[in-house]
Amino acid sequence: MDSLKQLNTMGQSILGLRRAAVAFLFLLFSVDLASAQHLAIRSREKDQHIIHDFSGDEQLFREVRWDIHNSASREGIAVVWTIDAFESRSGKNHFLADAGLGLRIRNAVPGNSWQVTQATDQTNVSKGDRTATVSAICSRHGDATIGVVVVFQTSQTTIPASGEYQTRLVGTITAP
Amino acid sequence: MKMNIKSLLKVVSAVVVAACCQSAMAQTTDTQRFTVTVPSTLSITAPADQSLTHDTTDNNQVFSPGSLAANHWAVQCNSSAGATVNLRTSTPFTHTSNSTYKRDAKLDLSVSSSDNSSSGAIWSIATASDQTNYVASDNIASVQATSAQPGKATLALSVTFITNTYSTLLQGDYQIDVVGTIAAN
């Protein structure tokens, strides 16, 4: 009889622990869904490639789209895109060319919560500036598609050395 | 008690899985690569053919390119080591219907415009002047310009018909062909 009572008590303890675990998990997922699950930045197009046509000192890539989603931070987010100068390496040779950036908001929801804070920038290799940055902010939850134009720039008084020049555009979300 | 520990382990595992799911659903950075292919370019373009009428004096007759860009040689190269341009005539001025009548030709070359680097003009003159001397069997005159890095330029080539004595010239046309070549260094 005593052993039956002991087993019953132990069973109730286990049941209590399981209920507590279920309650804890429910709480955890509730918080998760309400706050930090949906913060995303994605480049919609794949890597880009153009062939220089020597038509001028600026060679433009077609506009690329970046999708931003923020349902995580009620205080809003900042989105920053950075790009380094174009670089070409071939054997001992190392050439740099300036990179330019242009940014615009293609569409946004809610529209009045999104704002471009830095629309254009470019590197200036000859003066030691090798990074260009553009940015936008969203003051609350929201979605946006951002258009970014990348420009390959060379001096008006020189033609670029032959070769393959590459750089990487990096988009980053920061939340307060 | 053994069962209690198992239950606790399950709870801890669930918490870990939940935490992993949470971090996987937030993507805060992405990247995209941009590539520009700059093809190789190596070109030289001559101005249009030139002619003049002798002024009937003993003075040398000069084909001067002047300031008009169309009368200059245009050269361009984007090899990392630059290029060398050679402008050359392999004959003196020779009468078009009687090749025994000749006059020496002189070439003078200068850079009329050039792309610049931080250290100055990319193109420079290696050999500025040369002339034929057909009496001494030197029938070739050549001048050179060179660069050490990518860049374009226009070159002013002045060609001189060396008259000597006008009265001994057979009437008619005297010609030379200037041939320009460019080669990557």
pLDDT tens track for B123-138: 999 999 999 999 999 9
Say whether pLDDT at B143 is over 90.
yes
What are residue B14's DSSP bridge partners? none
Cα–Cα dist B105/B85, whole Å? 19
A/B interface, count of CB pairs below 8 Å: 164
Closest approach of B61 to chain A, Cα-based (Å): 35
pLDDT tens track for B55-104: 999 999 999 999 999 999 999 999 989 999 999 999 999 999 999 999 99
Q: What is the DSSP string of A12-37?
A: HHHHHHHHHHHHHHHHHHHHHHHHTS
Token pair 């084909």 is found at B63
Q: Which of A143, A124, A117 lies closest to A41 in space, CA to CA?
A: A143
Say whether pLDDT at B162 is over 80.
yes
Residue of A nearest to B117 (CA): A158
Say whether pLDDT at B11 is over 50.
no
Residue spans of beta strands (DSSP E) within B67-178: 73-77, 83-89, 93-95, 102-103, 105-114, 116-117, 120-121, 123-127, 129-131, 141-147, 151-161, 174-175
- Lookup: tokens for B21: 């799911």
Query: Do A169 and B35 lie within an 8 Å CB cutoff?
Result: no
**What is each CA distance from A158 to B21, B95, B149, in whole angstroms?**
52, 43, 10
pTM: 0.70
Query: Do A36 and B10 lie within an 8 Å CB cutoff?
Result: no
How many alpha carbons fall within 13 Å on the CB side of residue B92? Answer: 19
Query: Do B30 and A164 lie within an 8 Å CB cutoff?
Result: no
Say whether pLDDT at B7 is over 90.
no
ipTM of this complex: 0.79
Of chain B, the end-to-end C-alpha distance in Å amounts to 85
Walk across the sheet containing B93-95 and list its strands: B102-103, B93-95, B174-175
pLDDT tens track for B167-181: 999 999 999 999 999
Say whether pLDDT at B148 is over 60.
yes
Query: Do B32 and A64 lie within an 8 Å CB cutoff?
Result: yes
pLDDT for res B24: 37
Closest in A10, A41, A159 to B150, CB measured = A159
Report the interhelical angle of A2-35 vs B2-24 (nearest 10°): 10
Closest approach of A23 to chain B, Cα-based (Å): 11
pLDDT for res A38: 85
Say whether pLDDT at B5 is over 90.
no
pLDDT-derived band at B4, boundaries 50, 70, 90: low
Residues in chain A: 176
pLDDT for res B116: 85
pLDDT for res A37: 54
Closest in B18, B27, B79 to A32, CB measured = B18
- Chain A residues with CB under 8 Å of B4 CB are 13-14, 17
Helix/strand/coil for B49: coil
pLDDT for res A18: 58
pLDDT for res B120: 86
Q: What is the DSSP string of A118-130?
A: E-EEE-BGGGTB-
- Chain A residues with CB under 8 Å of B150 CB are 158-162
Answer yes or no: are the C-beta atoms of A50 and A152 closer than 8 Å: yes
Cα–Cα dist A167/B44, whole Å? 32
pLDDT mean by block of 10 residues, chain A; 176 residues = 53 55 44 58 96 90 97 94 94 88 97 96 95 97 97 82 95 93
Cα–Cα dist A58/A156, whole Å? 9
Closest in B4, B36, B152 to A14, CB measured = B4
- Chain A residues with CB under 8 Å of B33 CB are 47-48, 166-169
Closest in A61, A163, A168 to B38, CB measured = A163
Say whether pLDDT at B13 is over 60.
no
pLDDT for res B1: 47
pLDDT for res B16: 40
Give the number of other Cβ atoms within 10 Å of residue B46's Cβ: 13
pLDDT tens track for B14-52: 444 344 344 435 779 999 999 999 999 999 999 999 999
